[in-house]
Amino acid sequence: MTADLLQHQLQQAATALRELPSSLSPFASSLPVECIDKLESLESIAALLASVCGLVKGREVAWQVLCQLPLQQVPPSPLTGNLELVNYQGMEIPFSTARLLSFQSYLSVTWSVCDSITTALAPLVCNRSVCTDRGNPPQLLTHFIKSDKNTAYYGSFLLAKSYGFPVGISYVIRNHFIHDGALFYGQNFFESQNISDKFRISQTGWKVLEEGLKKHGLTETQTRVLLP
């Protein structure tokens, strides 16, 4: 989904939520006060969804920085020797360092978008115990993909079967880069530190992904797109 489309859908959802209480106003007098209070709280959900648009823009910028990174190579000099440097945020640093920082930035803001949307929509689709558990707030992978006890049957079924694999891959990569620095017992997620290899994944990287998916009980069949 493109950034523009996602922002448009978020704004549409926010608008619909803000209009819902007024559409029910003819029946307000017959509703308990507690129900009226809940309807009025939809405004806070709408505000949260609308605010995510700013994060979506940030994610788009982070993606562009990541894609352009191999093109920012600094011409070699006697001072740098064989060290491959790139221009990153106005600094000349090793490509491997800039690659790690760029991925961490992109993955962080991507999951900020995801977690914010999940938090906003949880009261509308999750059961009461999930929404009121402050110690374990609703999470996309845990509550929507891996378990069918938290949301409506069809919703959890379709999400798990259609998006379990890409969500799981993204989750494993996010944790590996943010918590482990893309290292597995000293071995890098990427093939090499060379710009020529760009973002090619190493055998170690593939092992991290395979074991991570296995740990969460997810398979490559849980996706809308099956590549040959």
The model carries a pTM of 0.88
pLDDT for 1 equals 62
CA torsion 153-159-161-163 (nearest 10°) is -170
Burial of 10 (0-12, 13-18, 19+ CB in 10 A): buried
**What percent of the chain is modeled with pLDDT above 70?**
98
pLDDT for 227 equals 55
Low-confidence ranges of the chain (pLDDT < 70): 1, 226-228
pLDDT for 39 equals 83
pLDDT for 226 equals 59
pLDDT for 6 equals 93
Other Cβ atoms less than 10 A from the Cβ of 61: the count is: 13
- For 65, the token pair is 């920085």
pLDDT for 188 equals 96
Report whether 97 contacts 105 (CB < 8 A): no
pLDDT for 100 equals 97
32, HSE (Cβ side, Cα atoms, 13 Å): 3
